[in-house]
Amino acid sequence: MSKNIIAIDAMGGDNAPKSVIAGLAISSIRNPTVNYVIYGNKNIIAPLLKRRTNLINMTEIVHVEGLVGDDEKASKALRRAKDTSMGQAIASVSDGAANAVVSGGNSGALMAMSIFGLKRLEGISRPALAAIMPTVNGEILALDLGANIECSSQNLVDFSIMGIVFAQKVLGRPHPKFAFLNVGEEENKGKNIIHDAVKIIEGESLKLFYDGYIEGNNVNFGKIDIVVSDGFSGNIMLKTAEGTAKLCSEYLRQVFNASLLGKISYFIGRSAFLAIRKKMDPRKHNGAVLLGLNGIVVKSHGGTDSLGFAHAVDLASEMSLKGYNEAIKHQLTELKLTEIKK
């Protein structure tokens, strides 16, 4: 495939397809070499594109009337995948017509369709859901965030490999450090699967990237580049961090609105507070990636606006342009882990 093409499920998400098309318009300015194939109802999408002249020469619409409902069971959605905008968008990646797919639709359906349609990369035991999280020192990659509630030690090793390549290719960290999320930093703390994963890592060149255990309260300080965990623990960590950010924003709002002095304080320090708000804006980190498949799959938050969707498309574009999946295959060969899994 000579061009970088991103397949877009235009009908997935609370504000689709309006926010989807508006988000594409934003992302296309930042990624002028990327083209888009938009899957969805052409009668609704075409009028929206007319207002976005910069998109006209970069897009193609594939008319699909079916869509996946927000509360639809994954098993049901999987059975009728070929008749939905989500299913056809994923199929285009499987067929080699697109490099990546972005959808803000039903999470369970997207994962089921992607795993079934794209299959796992050879040498990867299970795919993992990953996302970029803000920290004091920049950004950190966290995985798994819910794709695998229970994991084996080999799963954790695979997540580590995928995280290393992501940090190198997307975050621009040539020598990233990863740590396992644990209940303590001492070697004897935590589950046996974590201890067994460490034993595997110590016998491979992965140990050059390994930085031990990390507790949840230290993740946001950004002392490492990647935090690895099972999907149960990772999802709780992510949701807790999101809730804490909302709590801080609400506390600030209450303080500034509580009195005249508070309002004056806000007015005096307005530029600083706006800078804090910008750093905490969840739209800047929108886009979870399903790593470990024969194709790039990015899940946008269903309730995000055009700016948030644009960031999800940016992420898919960057992974495609920098050859993320090819790098994963190379890393697996280099680490000689493929033979271990057979």
Q: Report the 3 state secondary structure along 277-318.
A: HHHHCHHHHCCEEEECECCEEEECCCCCCHHHHHHHHHHHHH
Domain extents in the chain: 1-119+293-303, 125-291
Token digits of residue 29: 């300015």
Strand 178-181 and strand 226-228: the pairing is parallel
Question: Which residues, other chains included, contact 272 with Cβ-Cβ below 8 Å and sequence gap of 6+?
Answer: none
CA 199 to chain centre: 28
3-state SS class at 164: helix
Topology adopted by domain 1-119+293-303: Isopropylmalate Dehydrogenase (3.40.718)
3-state SS class at 138: strand
CA 224 to chain centre: 18
pLDDT per residue, tens digit, the chain (342 aa), is 447 899 999 999 888 899 999 999 999 999 999 999 999 999 999 999 987 888 888 999 999 999 999 888 999 999 999 999 999 999 999 999 999 999 999 999 999 999 999 999 888 889 999 999 888 888 899 999 988 999 999 999 999 999 999 999 888 899 999 999 999 888 888 899 999 999 998 877 788 999 999 999 899 888 899 999 999 999 999 888 888 878 887 887 888 888 887 788 777 777 776 776 666 666 777 789 999 999 999 999 888 889 999 999 999 999 998 888 888 888 777 765 444 443
85-121 tens-digit pLDDT: 999 999 999 999 999 999 999 999 999 999 999 999 8
Is residue 169 a contact partner of residue 324, using CB atoms and an 8 Å limit?
A: yes
235-288 tens-digit pLDDT: 999 888 888 878 887 887 888 888 887 788 777 777 776 776 666 666 777 789
- Give the Cα separation of 317 and 311 in Å (integer): 10
Return the residue matching tokens 């069971």: 73
Residues facing 234 on adjacent strands: none
Is residue 61 a contact partner of residue 89, using CB atoms and an 8 Å limit?
A: no
- Give the Cα separation of 276 and 285 in Å (integer): 15
The pLDDT of residue 281: 67
Q: Which long-range contacts (CB under 8 A, 24 or more apart) does 133-138 make?
A: 133/219, 133/220, 133/238, 133/241, 133/285, 134/220, 134/279, 134/280, 134/284, 134/285, 135/219, 135/220, 135/221, 135/222, 136/220, 136/221, 136/222, 137/221, 137/222, 137/223, 138/222
The pLDDT of residue 273: 65
Domains 1-119+293-303 and 125-291 share a fold: yes
Q: Where are the beta strands (DSSP E) in 104-239?
A: 128-135, 138-143, 178-181, 210-214, 226-228
Is residue 325 a contact partner of residue 36, using CB atoms and an 8 Å limit?
A: no
CATH superfamily entry for domain 125-291: Isopropylmalate Dehydrogenase (3.40.718.10)
Cα→Cα distances 213→177, 179, 183, 225, 226, Å:
11, 5, 9, 13, 11
